Structure 1
Amino acid sequence: MSQYDHIQQSAYLANMQLPKLGLVLFTFGNVSAADRSLGMFAIKPSGVPYEDLSPAKMVIVDFDGKTVQGKLRPSSDTQTHAVLYKQWTNIGGIVHTHSVYATAWAQSLRSIPVFGTTHADHTTVDIPCAPPMRDEMISGNYEYETGFQIINELKDKGLSYEEIEMILVGNHAPFTWGKTPEKAVYNSAVLESIAQMALLTEQINANAPRLKAALIKKHFERKHGPDSYYGQ
């Protein structure tokens, strides 16, 4: 047994949820699982079909993005994951997909407005869309800079990564994160659903108003507030 078996297993199981949830096509996505005590994370190997994955094929990488264990090349998005793990010390899982609806909003360079209570159950703000990357960032270490593209957008919006666990990268696609890989996958599925609902809302009523503040507060706090009462 290896000291990395648990994060390889966790990353494998989380990655296998992406096709089951309809969040990926072919190999368009990845999940990583971190162990803070080891300073390492396990991530999907690049370009390997989901049906060919196994826990042992998950690549072990440190928070500087250097491969520590594994015969396969890690995901092309590994450097983005590494930056986020290094900068945000309270996350344990990251997901990147090109899910259809969330990606469509990212390609439209639009944040997703809070139209309804489903959105407010998970966050009180619009899902932010980071602006397109500057040319000098693109020509540099692209995946590394994508991490800072995400971080800087939250800073510019005055948001904490613990306050909102999802973002759209302009012209690209969504990233989500959480304390565990399972929560990051959950957030990815929720984001896709919210993105679809928002699109349909605007198609039905192009002038649909945002959810009023009292309902945003009520729905978020009943699940996440100090006096929350949702669930068992």
Structure 2
Amino acid sequence: MNTLNKINSMNYQDIKEQAYKANMELPELGLVLFTFGNASAADHEQGVFAIKPSGVPYKDLTVDNMVIVDFDGNTVEGNLRPSSDTLTHAVLYKNWAEVSGIVHTHSTYGTAWAQALRPIPLYGTTHADHTTANIPCAPPMSDDKIAGNYEYETGFQIIEHLKDLNLSYQDMEMILVGNHAPFTWGKTVEKAVYHSAVLEELAKMALLTEQVQPGVMPMKDALINKHYQRKHGKNAYYGQ
């Protein structure tokens, strides 16, 4: 390895470690089975991100086999192929300057709602502690886009659906892709993992709520806003 490559590799070490740690947390949290998911960590100054290699079991992952990719989806460093979802991550990083971590899982409850093509409804205060809206479900893309650059188009499928709902990526940090599965993001990959775990729990709670009370109504706005504002508003008083 020449001197320049050694310097670049050292510069990427931090995001490789972040991505590795995030990926290893996914099975620990019960959010993935086998190779069903991926996490990435970005460095916007360098215009690159580290992501899990494709098809490698979590037990076999190491920091060193995280793949470095630029925001156009080109491999910059690594001997393994990056995740098959790499272009989706690349599109989101290229368009969302404040996002430095993305997680994709096929977690059971979140994926069930995605397969049903249903947003996750806001039924209770646990949900309102994190967002004031239903967790969106982006509709399936058109046949020509599926036949084209599918993973690339998935990134725009997410971006455009948030725009259609007038939701910003800063305020809504999780989404379902219809017939597919959840994606989450955050200012750090640690936050993206957190949002993946939250989405799965909210999906589970919403399903159980509808089973306990078919026809249940969404929670009223006053209670939604109270719980969100006490945690995230300018006069928030949750936490230390």
What's the TM-score bracket when you normalise by the shorter of the two chains?
over 0.9
Q: Give the superposition deviation at 1:8.
A: 0.2
Whole-angstrom distance in 2 between the partners of 1:36 and 1:149: 22
- Counterpart check, 1:90 vs 2:98: yes
- The Cα offsets for residues 138-186 of structure 1, whole Å up to 9 and x where unpaired, read as 0100000000000010000010000100000000000000000000000
Partner Cα separation in structure 1 for residue 156 and residue 48 of structure 2? 20
**Consecutive unaligned residues in structure 2, runs of 5 or more:** 1-8
1:75 aligns to what?
83
2:68 is paired with a residue whose SS is strand
In the alignment, which of 159, 167, 170 is matched to residue 178 of structure 2?
170
Q: 2:222 aligns with which of 202, 214, 220?
A: 214
Instruction: Pick one of 105, 108, 119 that aligns with 1:111.
Output: 119
- For residue 194 of structure 2, the aligned residue among 182, 186, 208 is 186
- Aligned mates of 2:210, 2:137 — CA distance in 1: 17
Give the Cα–Cα distance (whole angstroms) in 2 for the partners of residues 36 and 153 of structure 1: 24
The residue type paired with residue 195 of structure 1 is A
Alignment of 1:110-129 (within 5 A): 110-129=118-137
Q: How far does residue 209 in structure 1 lie from its aligned partner after superposition?
A: 1.1
Alignment partner, residue 14 of structure 1: 22
Give distance in 1, aligned partners of 2:215 and 2:146.
36
Q: In the alignment, which residue of structure 2 is the partner of 1:229?
A: 237
Residue in 2 that maps onto 1:157: 165
Cα displacement (A) at 1:2: 1.5
Paired amino acid for 2:110? A
Amino acid at match of 2:39: V
Q: Provide the C-alpha distance between the structure 1 equivalents of 2:147 and 2:48, rounded to a whole number of angstroms.
A: 27
- Structure 1 CA distance, aligned partners of 2:194 and 2:51? 17
Offset, 1:4: 0.4
Task: Name stretches of at least 5 consecutive residues in structure 1 with no aligned partner.
Answer: none
Give the whole-Å Cα distance in 1 for the aligned partners of 2:99 and 2:195: 13
Distance in structure 2 (CA, Å) of the matches to 1:54 and 1:219: 40
Residue of structure 2 equivalent to 1:41: 49
Q: What residue in structure 2 maps to residue 148 of structure 1? A: 156
Give the Å deviation of 1:220: 0.5
- Runs (4 or more) in structure 1 with deviation over 3 Å come to none
RMSD: 0.6
TM-fit CA distance, 1:60: 0.1
What is the distance in 2 between the residues matched to 1:133 and 1:205?
Answer: 33
3-state secondary structure, aligned to 1:30: strand
Output the amino acid matched with 2:125: T
Count residues with an aligned counterpart: 232
Task: Using structure 2 for the length normalisation, give the TM-score.
Answer: 0.96
| Cα separation, 2, equivalents of 1:231 and 1:53 | 35
Q: Which amino acid in structure 2 is aligned with residue 132 of structure 1? A: P
TM-score, normalised by the number of residues in structure 1: 0.99
CA distance in 1, matches of 2:20, 2:84: 17
User: Within the alignment, does 1:54 sit opposite 2:75 as a pair?
Assistant: no
Partner secondary structure for residue 155 of structure 1: helix
Distance apart, 1:104 and its partner CA: 0.2
